[in-house]
Amino acid sequence: MNEPKNSLRDSGPGTVDFKRYILRMIGIILAPRRSFTRLNVNPDYWFPILFVVIAFIGLRLIMLPEVYEHYSSAEFHDWYMEVRGISDEAARKDISQMISSAPFMIFLEAPFTVLAGTAGIALLLLMIGRFGYKRKMPFKSVFSMVAWASIISGFPMLLNIPLKLVNHQWFLPTNLSLILTPELVGGYFNRFIAIVDIFLIWQVWLLSVGLSVIYEVSIQRTVSAVGTMFVFLGVLNALFTGS
């Protein structure tokens, strides 16, 4: 079978046409249904995974001074010593090792977090498709769709990098927690709304469009399913983080 003219391909053996992947990223943003339809014909996922991993590493490296400051604080030292039930000297030794290994941990954490998160969402959507839409699709198709829809999550990381370079206390406000503080809405609800920002809503929309294309169901059904899934995950996150 001939490959569709609109599909993205490497320009030749051993070469990668980054321009085509950039165009696909733009297509995911501006015309998601058409782009996901093309992606469903020839699934691929390495570029969006790499994009988010690089953004993740870049932001975390810029934030290292904040990490060092946090680890070096007396509050963290006392908390760590109490939680671990160890002596002051042992706590200082452990924290010193944590500080020295922090840059290396970033390079291990980034690919694991991105790949595990993408795979986890893909598995949940596969279950929705299998039991909700009564269709069985290849994991690669759903994983590729999730990877490209999740490329949006790299944008706030990249946008925060120049802000952090100017002032480490600056950040891009993209959620309601900036306005609805814990004093106004309570700690639990504040942790919940802190997760819900404009980029996550955008990602939910893209996942809904992609799921609609793959399983050939209405966008209304997929928005409902994906939205419910993320609300559930947000509630769990708010329950098990913070105090």
139-187: per-residue pLDDT in tens? 999 999 999 999 999 999 999 999 888 888 777 777 665 554 444 445 5
**How far is Cα 120 from Cα 114, in angstroms, rounded to an integer?**
10
* Partners of 197 in beta bridges: 175
**Cβ neighbours around 49 below 10 Å, total:** 21
Is the model's pLDDT at 13 over the cut of 60?
A: no
Tokens of 18: 């980054």
Alpha-carbon distances of 116 from 4, 13, 66, 113, 225, rounded to whole Å = 31, 29, 25, 5, 21
- Compute the average pLDDT of residues 178-200: 60
Query: Band of the pLDDT at 11, cuts 50, 70, 90?
Result: very low
Looking at residue 189, its pLDDT comes to 54
Looking at residue 232, its pLDDT comes to 86
Say which residue the tokens 């042992």 belong to: 90
The dihedral built from the CA positions of residue 157, 161, 166 and 167, taken in this order, carries a sign that is positive
Tokens of 105: 């941990």
CA-based nearest residue to 63, from 55, 73, 75, 52: 55
> What one-character DSSP code corresponds to residue 169?
T
Query: Band of the pLDDT at 242, cuts 50, 70, 90?
Result: low
Query: Band of the pLDDT at 27, cuts 50, 70, 90?
Result: very high
Is the model's pLDDT at 4 over the cut of 70?
A: no
Question: 58 near 110, Cβ under 8 Å?
Answer: no
For 63-216, where are the alpha helices, taking DSSP H only? 64-72, 74-84, 88-127, 139-149, 154-166, 182-185, 187-195, 198-215
Question: Domain ranges in the chain?
Answer: 18-240
pTM for this model (two decimals): 0.82
C-alpha 154: how far from chain center: 7
**One-letter amino acid for residue 227 of the chain:** G
